[in-house]
């Protein structure tokens, strides 16, 4: 079945860019009705989510090419733009792409499913530190600073749409606010990493419902097994962005250890107090703040 091009219903209101993020690269993807856009802050389960979605839509766990080729980070200056466009246009059926850009940074497209995933900001912080150390050509990243200095920068750095790859608590909250709280995509039901890792099978089933994929029980089970954390880590070259290209010191370290709440015991009470004060400033609504940190307590796809 030939997919129709997706009509743009609303233009973006902000242009986000950074060391890698390049809004001009949106042109490599011509959205079609039925396509899926995975939209998350970094280190919130993006690669995991897009891999599950790609397997569900392709009806197989054998994708035949690396996830970064089949499901590119569409607004990133990684690889030749012509190659990304060619790989996407050559795919039949529904496609999956990813972005770390908040929802006010791209159009609302008719018939395109948006999947957003969030994670406790303190888990994101520690994951970002390991991520920064594993990335080559990244010496100026503040995440490489000693813990106290890096955490102070994480709390205090503002979000800057012209330097959006400089990760901070403010950039995470900006993404959450513009993608979820502002309800730009009215049908969006956000996922939370803590809920997703609580039950792999339920996660795959919930994701299939969210993207409108009528997968049978056999496929659901196969996808759940194929996307288990250790399975993906053991064959990381197939899944990580720029896998096998020397972008990382160790591809498998991209999948560090998963989990939630691993920040406990790693931050002083004084720094925790500063974090809580900053969170209250950035997300004044207590319910919205609690969801960003903790999700639904294991209940997938329960609305905010």
pTM (two decimals) = 0.91
pLDDT more than 90, % of the chain: 71
pLDDT tens for each residue of 144-165: 788 889 999 999 999 999 999 9
Among 73-77, 149-153, 185-189, 213-217, the least confident range: 185-189
Name the percent of the chain lying above pLDDT 70.
87
pLDDT in tens, 198-236: 999 999 999 999 999 999 999 999 999 999 988 888 887
Q: For the chain, what are the domain ranges?
A: 8-294
> What band does 14 get if pLDDT is binned at 50, 70 and 90?
very high
Per-residue pLDDT tens digits for 91-132? 989 999 999 999 999 999 999 999 999 999 999 999 888 866
CATH number of 8-294: 3.40.50.300
Higher pLDDT, 301 or 42: 42
| Position 252 confidence tier, pLDDT thresholds 50, 70, 90 | low
Secondary structure of the chain as H, E, C letters: CCCCECCEEECCCCCCCCCCECHHHHHHCCCECCCEEEECCCCCCHHHHHHHHHHHHHCCCCCCCCHHHHCCECCECCCCHHHHHHHHHCCCCCCEEEECCCHHHCCEECCCEEEEEECCHHHHHHHHHHHHHHECCCCCCHHHCCHHHHHHHHHHCCCCCCCCCCCCHHHHHHHHHHHHHCCCCCCCCCEEHHHHHHCHHHHHHHHHHHCCCCCCHHHHHHHHHHCCHHHHHHCHHHCCCCCCCCCECCHHHHCCCCCCCCCCCCCCHHHHHHHHHHHHHHCCCHHHHHHHHHCCCCCCCCCC
Given a cut of 90, whether residue 287 has pLDDT beyond it is yes
Residue 302 confidence (pLDDT) above 60: no
Choose between 180 and 249: higher pLDDT. 180
């Amino acid at each position: 079945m030939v997919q129709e091009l997706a009509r743009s219903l609303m233009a973006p209101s902000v242009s986000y860019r950074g060391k890698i993020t390049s809004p001009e690269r949106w042109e490599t993807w011509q959205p079609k009705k039925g396509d899926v856009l995975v939209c998350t802050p970094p280190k919130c389960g993006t690669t995991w989510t897009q891999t599950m979605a790609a397997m569900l839509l392709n009806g197989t766990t054998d994708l035949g090419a690396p996830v970064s080729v089949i499901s590119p980070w569409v607004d990133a200056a990684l690889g030749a733009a012509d190659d990304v466009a060619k790989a996407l246009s050559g795919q039949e059926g529904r496609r999956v792409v990813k972005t770390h850009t908040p929802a006010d940074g791209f159009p609302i497209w008719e018939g395109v499913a948006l999947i957003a995933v969030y994670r406790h900001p303190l888990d994101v912080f520690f994951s970002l530190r390991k991520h920064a150390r594993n990335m080559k050509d990244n010496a100026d990243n503040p995440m490489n600073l000693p813990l106290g200095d890096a955490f102070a920068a994480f709390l205090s750095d503002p979000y800057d749409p012209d330097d959006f790859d400089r990760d901070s608590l403010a950039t995470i909250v900006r993404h959450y606010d513009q993608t979820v709280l502002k309800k730009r995509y009215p049908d969006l039901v956000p996922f939370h990493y803590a809920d997703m890792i609580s039950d792999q099978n339920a996660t795959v089933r919930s994701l299939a419902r969210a993207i409108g994929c009528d997968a049978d029980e056999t496929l659901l089970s196969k996808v759940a097994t194929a996307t288990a954390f250790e399975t993906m880590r053991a064959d990381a070259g197939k899944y990580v962005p720029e896998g096998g290209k020397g972008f990382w010191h160790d591809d498998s370290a991209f999948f560090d250890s998963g989990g939630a709440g691993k920040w406990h015991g790693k931050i002083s009470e004084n720094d925790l107090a500063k974090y809580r004060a900053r969170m209250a400033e950035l997300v004044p609504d207590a319910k919205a703040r609690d969801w960003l940190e903790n999700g639904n307590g294991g209940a997938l796809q329960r609305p905010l």
